[in-house]
Amino acid sequence: MTDENKKALPTPDPKQEEMIRKALKHHLLENIDKQNVAKASVGHVVDSAREFMGSFVILGYGYDGAPITFTCANNPQEMDALTMLINKYIHQGS
C-alpha cells in the first residue's frame, strides 16, 4: 500500500470522545444491572419451587435468549425420578 492510499484518521473531538465514553460506560453498567436482576429473579423462582416440591427441573430462556436451567434433586433416586418424568413428558408431546 502506498502512502497516497493511506488516509489519516481524523483526530476525535475531545467532547465527542468523552460523550462516547460516558455512553459506553452507562450501557455496560445498565447491562450488568439487568443481568443481576435476572439472576436474582431466577433465585426467587427456585426458592418458591423448593417450598412446594422436593425435586424439580426448571428449563427456559431468558429475555436475552440465554438458556436457564436448574435441577434440584437431593439424591440419585430423585434424579432418576426426574429423568423418567422428563422423558415421559417429552414422549407424550405435552
- Specify the pTM: 0.51
Which helix or strand (DSSP H or E) is residue 40 part of?
helix 14-52
Phi, psi angles (nearest 5°) of residue 67: -70, 145
Instruction: Please check the confidence at residue 29 and state whether its pLDDT lies above 80.
Output: no
- pLDDT for 16: 74
One-letter amino acid of 87: N
Distance CA 54, CA 34 (A): 30
Per-residue pLDDT tens for 31-65?
A: 776 666 666 777 777 787 777 888 888 888 877 78
49: cell is 419451587
